[in-house]
A = this chain, B = another copy of it.
Amino acid sequence: MPERKPRKDAARNRAAVLAAADTLFTDCASPDDVTMADIAAAAGVGKGTLFRAFGDRVGLIGALYAARLEPVEEAVETGPPPLGPATPPLQRVPALLDALLCFKLDNRHLALALEGTGSGSPYQAAHYERWHALLRDMLEQLPGLPDSGFAAHALLAAVRADLVEHLAGEERVPREAMRSQLADYTAAFLRAPRDPE
């Protein structure tokens, strides 16, 4: 395949934009008061450059998000328990949800910016489908649970960026409290199946 390597300045600019956007997003109160022009300016670059490199706003945010998310993905795909693939579902499901929660807590504005993108919802983001499939498959291995597809969606909905933001921001729930609440919630759901004693 003729995958031509990009020019050096292009690569440098891309990196600069990514870096600038990153700090801007983490510093700002709401993701949508950081504009494309702001980012371009902060990166010392023209708007055109920015759009050529990432296509559009969603593309840029998506790239940032992907970069931040990469460690988590690696930990899930090839890491040690309890996140790695060798873990039995009963421990891995809560571990995954906890990891996702932590990620959203650590990248509030970014996740918010990505999920709140137009009416698109998070449901057409490439990542979402991956997490959903993974979670669904794990749930499927657990006997006696209801429709795994829906359950996976519902569990993922419990760690949606705006909910997390609301809890952390409005309700001032501290990080560890939120983690344990989520763990309890997950546990309650997973405890369900063994009912016919």
Top 9 A-B pairs, shortest CB-CB distance: A146-B184, A121-B162, A157-B157, A154-B158, A150-B181, A188-B192, A123-B166, A147-B181, A191-B192
Q: How far is the CB of A95 from chain B (nearest CB, A)?
A: 17
Stretch at the interface among A13-21, A70-78, A82-90, A112-120: A112-120
Known: A150-B181, A184-B146. A162 touches B32 (CB 8 A): no
* A17 to B118 CA separation, bound complex (whole angstroms): 24
Q: Which residues of B contact A123 (CB under 8 A)?
A: 162-163, 166, 170
Q: Which residues of B contact A160 (CB under 8 A)?
A: 157, 160
Interface residue tally for chain A (C-beta within 8 Å): 43
The interface of chain A, by Cβ under 8 A from chain B, is: 30-32, 112-113, 116, 118-119, 121-124, 145-147, 149-151, 153-154, 157-158, 160, 162-163, 165-167, 170-171, 178, 181-182, 184-185, 187-189, 191-193, 195, 197
Q: Which residues of B contact A185 (CB under 8 A)?
A: 146-147, 150-151, 154, 189
Q: Does more than half of chain A's interface fall in helix, strand or loop, or is it mixed?
A: helix
6 contacts between A and B (CB under 8 A): A30-B119, A123-B162, A146-B185, A147-B184, A149-B171, A192-B192
